[in-house]
Amino acid sequence: MSAILVITGVVLCMASGLPSLATRRASAATTVLIVAGGAIGLIGAVLGLIGGTAGLSLPWHIPGGALAIRVDALSAFFAAPVFLLAGAGGLYADRYWPAARMRAGYVRAFFGLMTGALALVMCAANTILFLAAWEIVAVSSFFLIATEHELAESRSAAWIYVTASHVATLALFAIVVLLHGFTHSWAFVPLAPGSGALPAGHALLCLAFIAFGIKAGLMPFHIWLPGAHAAAPSHVSAVMSGVGIKMGVYGLVRLLSLFDAVPSAFGTTLLLAGIASSILGVAFAIAQHDLKRLLAYHSIENIGIIVTGLGIGALAQTHGQPLLAVLGYAGALLHVWNHGLFKALLFLSAGAAIHSAHTREIDRMGGLGRRMPWTAAAFLIGAVAITGLPPLNGFVSEWLLYVAGFTSITCSPHGGPSLLLILVVPALALTGALALACFVKAFGTVFLGVPRSTAAADAREVPATMRAAMAPLILGCAAIGLVPALFGPLLGRAVHAAAPRLPMAATLTALLQPIQTSALIIAGIAIAAVLSLLALTRRAATALTWDCGYAAPTARMQYTASSTARGVVGLFGWAMRPVIHGPRPFTIFPFAAAFESHVPDTVLDRALLPVLRGARWVLGFARYFQHGRMQLYLLYLGVTLVALLAWSAR
């Protein structure tokens, strides 16, 4: 039953854009179809998590291919947030990108295609079908990123995205071929014991790190992610960030589940790459002036946290430490859900602010909290969750990884992976502190203070349907944060599917029970404090605050995005290398002054693009040999043949 519901949800999502392509008047039909598809698919995924494995197979006339759907605990765990965000994004788009807006049918058609194919990736039991769905997601995402293709920024982001996606797809082709060589099957079946130690197993894991690392946006493969998430419409960014990049995580977890154990070097690589991504991702986020680019870099940070958990699990499993492996895999998988919820909430609330203020520049917003209280509250809830503060969901998954880090010291005090895992706790602490600093800057600059532009001063709250789309995400963040033990059995089934050879050393419900009690106490204290503060505020007299002699302060007297982040950016200047254009030295006479700062992406802008420009310059010399004359080409062939004959005659 669960497989039928899931495939029904996939079909409805993929077909939802067809009415809007036919006529603009059918926008309501598109919304109904994608919301219905999301709801039906979500029910099927939940049934797949609660019940046993279900499958559905139909004939397909492609060599090696089969329309084979398998809904087990792992695929259902990853498909559930896809369907949830598909429905929420479709409802949000009804007013965010209405039918009267340019390319509305185009956006809705590719959005439905992308979300349906995403769910199909998570549930494909056949590697050829997995490849086909993977490529549908890549192509539809390319067109969505290029929605506003009249802008050079959007075109550049789309081309970088599609180039990176095709590199990942080429590596994925090689992975599928190697898997077939191991199993002589095009299905996802377990590998023979010891396969990870073979040269072909090493090649398979290296290719997986590249292919799935690119799709997930793991550093240093993240080059496509900031530009793509900034350029796409906000509801598309919410899905791409919340669940689109989880394609890479799912592929990596599914592949790990096929091995009995992987080499320690691979687990170490995952751990170190995850730590680097989490710290540097949030450091780059702090330096951003574009609200959506700021959130995009936080996706890199959270993918780093997830991959850190997978690295803990892989290392612990290799070294025979089941409790530690359970904690690592559980923290990583739960963070897949948590990140999908709070990041989608942040992108939708940021999109609402952008929709009203008509800009993505943080320094041109300000004061939106009074004008958009619902949006401000939603963004604040997402910010508290993403920074890992109790009592919301981000704290729960990070707490499991904290416990794993501390447990590693007691599990193997005299050897094993403990020397590396001891890095987990300080890395998570640093990441959390930097994330808190970043969202203090983002929320304070965007929603507090006074408006910094006329558009911000005229901003109004978004329509009810856009706010309604955020409601299930808020409820999800609160539910996992306040009653995490309720989700323990579901998480346990997903962990067992991710590592089937791993004995469940402890029930996750028991591990989550203490944090649930603490979260409920903290929530009660917070509610009481807020109610007391509101009561005191109503009775307090109001008066102007001391203004340091400025009787009429202006928006220019507020902290900017650059000034708030200056200290942290300077601390990580060795990695980010910010570009600052400041005013000339002051003289006794006043003059017009300007200040500008930006932080280029170190990998893309400072390493990859200069190399590619140099290669283009070198290859430009080839035009001296390409004149379009057949006689010259025949001469080249003759010279080559003579050179080969001379070389072979030695």
Domain boundaries, the chain: 261-534, 566-602, 604-648
Q: How many CB atoms lie within 10 A of CB 575?
A: 13
pLDDT bin (cut points 50, 70, 90) of residue 504 is low
Radius of gyration of the chain (CA): 26
Region class of 51: left (phi > 0), else alpha (psi between -120 and 50), else beta = beta
Model pLDDT, residue 585: 66
Q: What is the pLDDT of residues 51-92, one digit of tens each?
A: 878 888 888 888 877 888 999 999 999 999 999 999 999 999
Helix or strand holding residue 614 (H, E): helix 609-619
Model pLDDT, residue 331: 94
Q: What are phi and psi of 55, to 5 degrees?
A: -140, 160
Model pLDDT, residue 229: 94
Q: What is the pLDDT of residues 116-154, one digit of tens each?
A: 999 999 999 999 999 999 999 999 999 999 999 899 999
d(CA 230, CA 210): 23
pLDDT bin (cut points 50, 70, 90) of residue 638 is very high
- Look at 172-176, 315-319, 439-443, 620-624 and tell me which has the smallest mean pLDDT: 620-624
Measured at the CA of 87, the angle between CA 218 and CA 295, to 5 degrees, comes to 35
Model pLDDT, residue 258: 92
- Asked whether residue 219 carries a pLDDT value surpassing 70, the answer given is yes
Model pLDDT, residue 632: 83
E-only strand ranges, 172-253: none
Model pLDDT, residue 514: 82
Q: What are phi and psi of 581, to 5 degrees?
A: -115, 105
- The predicted model gives 604-620 an average pLDDT of 86
- The predicted model gives 2-28 an average pLDDT of 87
For the whole model, what pTM was predicted? 0.92
The amino acid occupying position 158 is A
pLDDT bin (cut points 50, 70, 90) of residue 2 is confident
DSSP states of 527-555: HHHHHHHHHHHHHS---PPP-TT-SS--G
- Look at 68-77, 119-128, 415-424, 559-568 and tell me which has the smallest mean pLDDT: 415-424
d(CA 13, CA 3): 15
pLDDT bin (cut points 50, 70, 90) of residue 406 is confident
Model pLDDT, residue 415: 52
- Asked whether residue 463 carries a pLDDT value surpassing 60, the answer given is yes
pLDDT bin (cut points 50, 70, 90) of residue 553 is low
Model pLDDT, residue 541: 67
- Look at 211-215, 427-431, 522-526, 573-577 and tell me which has the smallest mean pLDDT: 573-577
What angle in degrees, to the nearest 10, is found between the helix axes of 104-123 and 2-15? 160
Q: What is the pLDDT of residues 180-218, one digit of tens each?
A: 999 888 989 999 888 888 999 999 999 999 999 999 999
d(CA 611, CA 613): 5
Query: Are the CB atoms for 12 and 43 separated by under 8 Å?
Result: no
Please report the sign of the dihedral spanned by the C-alpha atoms of residue 571, residue 361, residue 248, residue 71: positive
Mention every residue, 6+ apart, whose C-beta is less than 8 A from residue 508.
Answer: 326, 330, 488, 489, 491, 492, 495
Share of the chain above pLDDT 70, in %: 93
Residue 363 tokens read as 């320094």
- Asked whether residue 579 carries a pLDDT value surpassing 90, the answer given is no
